[in-house]
A and B are shown apart, each in its own frame.
Chain A
C-alpha cells in the first residue's frame, strides 16, 4: 500500500493571538504541526508497521514547513515533499486541494490520510474537497482503521448518532479525528536520522500548475479581515464554605443573571 499523508504548519493555538487593523500580529507567533495531522502521521506509521506501506508526506508552506516534515520523518514517515511557493500565500482550501490533487496524481497512491481539520482555520474542507476532485471515496472524522485486504479498509467514524462502521474501497481518502491515536514522541535516534534525510521541494511551476488551475485567479474566498473576539471577563469567584458559596451562586443565578 502506498500512502500519502498531508501535514500543515499552523500557529500554536496555546499562545496569545492579537489582532491589529484587521490582521493577525505576527510578532511572537510560533508554529507547530497541526495536531490532527500528527494523528494522521501516527495512523500512517501504524499502518506501515502493522501492514507494510510505503509512506510519503506532503506539506505546503514556507521554508519553516520543512520542520514539520522532519518531525514526521522522526515519527517514521519515509519520504517528504515540500511545496514551497509564495503564490500559495492567499490560497484557500480549494487551492490547497488542487495542489494536493497534482501530488496525488504524480504518485500512484492507494490511500490519502489527512487530519480532520487544521487548528488555524478549523474548516476541515481540504481533504474532503480533494477526494471530490479525485473522485475517490472519502470518510471523515475517522477514529479507527483496519485493513481488510489489498483493496479494502474497514473504518470507523463518529457520526451524529454514533460510531459508523464503513467499508471503503481503495484508493480512498480518510480524515482522522484526534481520538484515533496518541501520536508518538519521536525518539532521539529518529530525530537525528530525520535531520539527514532528503526533502523534495517543489514550486507550482515544478508541478506545472498555474494559478487558474488551482482556482486562485480569482481566489474563491478571501479573508477581508480578522477581528478580535469579544473576550469574556472573569466574573465572580467564590471560595470558602461549600454550602454557603453554593447557595450564594444559586441566588445570583436566580436574581442577578435571571437564568434559573
Chain B
C-alpha cells in the first residue's frame, strides 16, 4: 500500500487546518501515513498529529528552524522521505510549500504538481487534478516517477476524523544553515486573527474601498462575521492591505463557505483565487462589473452605503 508523507503546515507553533485535511484524505488512500513537523518548540504538536491519523511522526525541532529557510526545510523533508520510503509527499498550500516542494522533487529526480484539487492512484500511478491558466482549465496529470510531490489546494479535502493513529516519533538531523542564503530578518505582517485559508467566511476589499477608512469600514463587517479579511491585488499594491491578505492567482486560493467581494471588479486573476467558494456575494456600484458573473448574490450599490446596512441586517437575522 502506498506510503504517504504529509508535511505539517505550522504557523506560530500551531498546526494549520490544512494539515489535518491532508492527513484525513491520505488515510482514505492508505493505511501508511506519516507526517514530518519542522520548526522550533513544536514537540507539543505530536499528539495532535497522531490523533489526526498518522502512525509515524518525523520531528525536526530546533531553534535553527525557527525561521523558514527553503533549503533547511527541504533537507528535513528529504530525510523523512528517505527514512519512510515515501511514494507520495503532500504539502498544504503556502508560500513556504511553494518554495520547498520543487526542491524535494528535484532532489529525488521526480516531479511536483501544485494546487492539486484531487489525487488518486490508477494502475499503480499517481494521478492528480489541478487548475491551470488562472483556473480556466483543469489538467489531469500522471506521475511517472516517485515520490510524487504535490501541493494541495486549501479546502480541497475534508476532515472526517474517522481515523486516529499512535505516537511513534523519529527525530531528524538538524541541517546546517545554508550560508549562501541567510535570512536577516522578517518584517512581520500585521497579525490577522483569522487565517484566510482556514476561514469559513472571507470578506475581501478591492480598490473600491479607496483607503484606510474604507478598509476599516469593511473590516468591521469581517469582525462581526469572525471572517478572514482578504484583499485584491490593487489594495496590496496601494500599500493599504498586507501581502498575505491577497486573494488570487498570485496570492492565496480560498474556498470558504461564504465570500464577500466588496469593491472588487472581478479580474480573472482575482476570481481564480475565490471561485471555489460555496456562495459569493458581491457589492459593486458598477452593474456591469465582471464580479457579478460569478456572484451568487450581487448588490449593485455604493459600498459605503451598503456595508453598514449589511452589518445591521446580518445582526438582525443572527439574533
Contact = CB atoms under 8 A, between A and B. Distances in A.
A119 B134 contact: yes
B11 interface: yes
B12 to A, nearest CB: 8
B110 A122 contact: no
Interface string A153-181: 01000111111111111001000011100
B279 interface: yes
A245 B299 contact: yes
A58 to B, nearest CB: 19
A17 B281 CA distance: 25
Contacts of B269: 13
Nearest to B310: A246
Interface string A218-241: 111111111111001011111100
Interface stretch (B20-28, B56-64, B180-188): B180-188
Given A122-B132, A220-B144, A253-B281, A234 B305 contact: no
A121 interface: yes
Contacts of B133: 11, 13, 17, 119-122
Contact of A138 (B70, B187, B287): B70
A61 interface: no
Interface string B291-303: 0111111111110
A164 B268 contact: no
B243 A122 contact: no
Q: Main secondary structure on chain B at its contact with chain A? A: mixed
A222 B34 CA distance: 27
Given A168-B181, A242-B305, A249 B137 contact: no
Interface stretch (B47-55, B167-175, B212-220, B311-319): B311-319
Nearest to B149: A125
Contact of B70 (A11, A129, A140, A239): A140
B114 to A, nearest CB: 5
Contacts of B184: 154, 165-167
A260 B317 contact: yes
A193 to B, nearest CB: 31
Given A164-B68, A237-B295, A260 B102 contact: no
Nearest to B184: A165
Contacts of A97: 106
A223 B139 contact: yes
Contact of A237 (B106, B114, B183, B298): B298
Contacts of A120: 132-133
Contact of A224 (B68, B127, B300, B314): B127
Contacts of A129: 102-103, 105-106, 112
B36 interface: no
A93 B149 CA distance: 13
Contacts of A234: 292-295, 298
Nearest to A92: B111
Contacts of B236: 179
Interface residues of A, number: 80
Nearest to B112: A125
Contacts of A128: 70, 99, 102-103, 106
A227 B137 contact: yes
B112 A122 contact: no
Given A242-B301, A250-B314, A167 B181 contact: yes
A211 to B, nearest CB: 14
A160 B136 contact: no
Nearest to A247: B313
A250 B99 contact: no
A132 interface: yes
B194 to A, nearest CB: 15
A105 interface: no
Given A93-B112, A220-B143, A235-B298, A229 B135 contact: yes
Nearest to B225: A260
Contacts of B11: 160-161
Contact of A228 (B107, B138, B143, B297): B138
B176 interface: no
Most chain B CB within a 10 A radius of its CB, from A164, A234, A242: A242
Contacts of B98: 124, 140-141
A60 interface: no
Interface of B: 11-12, 67-68, 70-71, 94-96, 98-99, 102-103, 105-107, 109-115, 127, 129, 131-145, 178-189, 201, 225, 233, 236-237, 242-244, 249-250, 257-258, 268-269, 275, 278-281, 287, 292-302, 305-306, 309-310, 313-314, 316-318
7 contacts: A13-B133, A138-B103, A159-B186, A162-B188, A163-B189, A166-B181, A167-B182
- 6 smallest CB-CB distances across A and B, nearest first, come from A235-B296, A237-B298, A137-B181, A250-B313, A132-B106, A220-B111
Interface of A: 11, 13-14, 17, 19, 24, 92-94, 97, 116, 119-125, 128-129, 132-133, 136-141, 143, 154, 158-169, 172, 177-179, 215, 218-229, 232, 234-239, 242-243, 245-247, 249-254, 257, 259-260
